[in-house]
Structure 1
Amino acid sequence: MRKLTSALWLSTCLVLPVFADEQKPANPIIKMATTTSTQDSGLLTQILPNFQKKTGYEVQVTAVGTGKALKLGENGDVDVVLVHARADEDKFVAAGFGDQRYSVMYNDFIFVGPEEDPAKVKATKTTTDALKQIAATQSPFVSRGDDSGTHKMEKKLWDQAGVKPAGEWYREAGQGMGEVLQMSGELKAYTLTDRGTWLATMDKSPLKIVLEGDKTLLNPYGIIAVSQKRYPDTNHAGAQALIDWMISAEGQQAISDFKINGQSLFTPSADPAEVKPATEPAKTN
């Protein structure tokens, strides 16, 4: 396994095991930056070994907020990004940092909070009404506060509600989704979470779902190879191989098959027009 020199990679990299036995691609290491939700939910740990066994590539994953993941791509520190903030993904590609955005999957955001529901969020029907209720009652709310896709969505929802959250009741954690859910449970606070991470952690939480199903809470994920034109040393072949697998019938089925307590955490959403015909990836000694 190639030794990593960057302090960032040494401190945050999740290295998934390699299962290919004999041959590997000429450049077998793929560096991927992604969101904490794909790690905290357990999705990547479940599905990536299938890709690695089939292709001989080794995927090294750094899980951070979407903003930080895209910044790693902008700096040429990774080969591919898997994130969930469509407007920022489009800007990333338009600015020439990435080649093309591919749809991979989606789930949705939900609001969770204490069972007592002091803000009476369960009685509301829209995110706007829910957030107005939380602010009006100054009920504790924990924000990711980390420029992640979830944090970006939260800020957008506050704006739509016409509320600028501030004060002791509103806390910015600067942490990943798993940590924020734990903190919210301890503080009996409300928070916004992706459904995948919630399903993976709900058995350990005293919180309950208080609002779901609003059409504004859809949470799509996209995957983008970092531009080889801008960064010639990027492992573009590996990044594209991973993308092709993720949006293939095999990859999409692996995403669909990932379940907790019988519930799928993500729904595949690849565009059939972007999927290449199934072929065996070429390998070299």
Structure 2
Amino acid sequence: MTIQRREFVAALAAGGAAGLAGCSTLTGDDGGDAGISGETLTLTTTTSTYNTGLLDELNAPFEDRYGVSVDAVSQGTGQALETARNGDSDVVMVHARSLEDEFMEEGYGVNRRDLMYNDFVVIGGPNDPAGIGGSDDVTEAFTAIADSESSFVSRGDDSGTHTKELEIWDETGLNVDEFGEWYQEAGQGMGDVINMATQQGAYTLADRGTYLDMQDEVDLEIHVQGPIEGGPELLANPYGIVAVNPAVHDNVEYDLAMAYIGFITSPEGQDLIENYTANGEQLFYPESLSEEPNFQQYVPEGWSADNTGNSSDSSDE
């Protein structure tokens, strides 16, 4: 995925902003919004979307429009998807595409959409004991941290951030199971891990949004930038949203989940994401709408026409 600022399509006419993804607009007999008042949508989502306050910005207008409530449960990506597997969630907003693909391939999720992106950054104390400041190669930075045995706090919680961290360690060829006491698995959310890193003067991998939201409260600096600021593409951090499959769990609020997906991927929802800031900084970049739509958002990574029995080899063309 190439990180870039997306240009939006023109805003829809008044009344059309519901923009439901894959289903018809919910309208009542009087032409207003459908009578789904009193229902509750359960959303399992990452700590980054929850702690930054973005969900409050997105959920309030949705709740007002449909007269419903959104019960947002903050979990790491792995746990959020597991909650959905158990039928205890209606829709999932997460940021680990490999885990999302697994969830979809197992049949638990339907109608996945790209939602937004930011990136990951490597942060740490200003003394920078591993000397990684300004590095444009995150695998080399991680290797330097390990070689110097500088303190590093890992999420250790099967979250999207933890999944990305393990991917980077894998790229270094190092085995986290062989690390010493300098490497600490916290088993906590992003905000708690950033606070722990501050207290210990340690490095950690963080999503840019949570760091920017907390940067005035902690004594940590960005030492390795992500692709939003010209850093390595390996630190890209795309978010997706997936409805739980009602054919697997017939108790889920599928229509309401699709209405929610439609709202936050509509021009109105994407504009809310575009304009949401903390400490004067934009935290997330909308990705659902583009003049050049990305077909790959609907299928697993690595998918090709070969999966359907058709050749994807274009070498003869």
Matches for 1:136-175 after TM superposition, within 5 Å? 136-165=147-176, 166-175=179-188
Secondary structure at 1:81 match in 2 = strand
- In structure 1, the residue matched to 2:255 is 237
Secondary structure at 2:215 match in 1 = helix
| Cα-Cα RMSD | 1.5
Secondary structure at 1:255 match in 2 = helix
Secondary structure at 1:89 match in 2 = helix
Distance 1:32 1:80 in 2: 5
Deviation at 1:27, TM superposition (A): 5.7
Structure 1 unaligned segments of length 5 or more: list them: 1-21, 275-285
Q: Deviation per CA, 1:216-275, whole angstroms, max 9, x where unpaired? A: 10100000000000111110011001000010000000011101132210000004569x
- In structure 2, the residue matched to 1:258 is 276
Counterpart AA for 1:86: R
- In structure 2, the residue matched to 1:176 is 189
Say whether residues 1:57 and 2:75 are aligned partners: no
- In structure 2, the residue matched to 1:228 is 246
Deviation at 1:97, TM superposition (A): 0.1
User: Normalising by structure 1, what TM-score?
Assistant: 0.86
Q: Deviation per CA, 1:113-162, whole angstroms, max 9, x where unpaired? A: 01000000115320111001000000000000000000000000000011
Counterpart AA for 1:112: I
Q: Which moves more between the two structures, 135-144 or 86-95?
A: 86-95
| Matched residue count | 253
Counterpart AA for 1:267: Y
Q: Which moves more between the two structures, 259-268 or 154-163?
A: 259-268
Give the alignment partner of residue 95 of structure 1, picking from 97, 103, 106: 106
Distance 1:170 1:150 in 2: 16
Say whether residues 1:186 and 2:204 are aligned partners: no
Secondary structure at 2:187 match in 1 = coil
Deviation at 1:28, TM superposition (A): 1.6
Bigger proportion of residues as helix: 1
Describe the shift of the 1:81–1:268 C-alpha distance in structure 2 as closer, same or farther (beyond 3 A).
Answer: same
Distance 1:198 1:209 in 2: 9
Give the alignment partner of residue 33 of structure 1, picking from 21, 37, 44: 44
Counterpart AA for 1:88: L
Give the alignment partner of residue 224 of structure 2, picking from 171, 189, 211: 211
Describe the shift of the 1:198–1:123 C-alpha distance in structure 2 as closer, same or farther (beyond 3 A).
Answer: closer
Secondary structure at 1:232 match in 2 = coil
Counterpart AA for 2:192: E
Structure 2 unaligned segments of length 5 or more: list them: 1-32, 226-230, 295-317
Deviation at 1:23, TM superposition (A): 8.3
Secondary structure at 1:92 match in 2 = helix
Distance 1:228 1:114 in 2: 47
Secondary structure at 2:103 match in 1 = helix
Describe the shift of the 1:257–1:271 C-alpha distance in structure 2 as closer, same or farther (beyond 3 A).
Answer: closer
User: Normalising by structure 2, what TM-score?
Assistant: 0.77
Say whether residues 1:43 and 2:61 are aligned partners: no
**2:135–2:223 Cα contact (<8 Å) kept:** no
Counterpart AA for 1:229: A
Q: Deviation per CA, 1:189-212, whole angstroms, max 9, x where unpaired? A: 000000000011010000111000
**1:30–1:239 Cα contact (<8 Å) kept:** yes
Distance 1:172 1:24 in 2: 47
**1:98–1:224 Cα contact (<8 Å) kept:** yes
**1:23–1:56 Cα contact (<8 Å) kept:** no
**1:57–1:238 Cα contact (<8 Å) kept:** no
Distance 2:165 2:88 in 1: 27
Deviation at 1:94, TM superposition (A): 1.3
